[in-house]
């Protein structure tokens, strides 16, 4: 073998080694990218779960404001068992505070449940009794307001919330 052929073969071997090394490094880079993508997916999931949790906490805070809590308490303690025609103006005002607050919560949860179905369980675990009792007491008012508005969608979020509360799922 001539010196030229020997040098040429050495160069080919080196080129082949560099090609294999490049392939190994390229595969390693792809592997690193793969694991980075998985880590980013986990971070996005955690971020989404955190945002959902924040929304539920905000809803709970909204429903715990003093005017809504007071109205809800009066509805349960003073209006329960009373004929709708005998409700006072204050009781009607309390009903008109509780219904839209639960309806708003229901509409927000409708959106959250599309992305995270179990969110209703976390929310309703503590609120189911109040939701159920208030809806039962306030149903005549809800029906009257729907009749006056000529719309079955009036306070529909409250109805959805009652229907999707784990204790009242139908």
Distance CA 12, CA 17 (A): 8
What are the start-end ranges of the H helices in 64-155?
A: 66-74, 89-115, 119-149
Locate 73 and state its tokens.
Answer: 């308490």
Q: What backbone phi and psi angles, to 5 degrees, belong to 151?
A: -150, 125
Give the pLDDT band (50/70/90) at residue 25. confident
pLDDT at 74 over 70: yes
Contact 126, 157 (CB under 8 A): no
Cα dihedral 12, 15, 17, 23 in deg (nearest 10): -140
Reported pTM: 0.68
Other residues' Cβ atoms within 10 Å of the Cβ of residue 8? 12
pLDDT at 14 over 90: no
């Amino acid at each position: 073998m001539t010196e030229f052929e020997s040098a040429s073969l050495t160069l080919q071997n080196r080129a082949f080694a560099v090609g294999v090394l490049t392939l190994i490094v390229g595969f390693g880079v792809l592997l690193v990218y793969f694991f980075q993508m998985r880590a980013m997916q986990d971070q996005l999931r955690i971020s989404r779960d955190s945002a959902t949790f924040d929304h539920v906490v905000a809803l709970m805070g909204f429903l715990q404001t003093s005017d809504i809590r007071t109205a809800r308490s009066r509805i349960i303690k003073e209006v329960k068992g009373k004929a709708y025609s005998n409700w006072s103006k204050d009781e009607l005002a309390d009903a008109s505070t509780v219904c839209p607050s639960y309806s708003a919560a229901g509409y927000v949860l409708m959106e959250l449940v599309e992305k995270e179905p179990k969110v209703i369980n976390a929310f309703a675990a503590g609120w189911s009794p109040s939701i159920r009792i208030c809806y039962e007491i306030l149903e005549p008012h809800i029906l009257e307001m729907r009749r006056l508005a000529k719309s079955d969608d009036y306070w529909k979020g409250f109805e959805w919330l009652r229907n999707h509360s784990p204790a009242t799922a139908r």
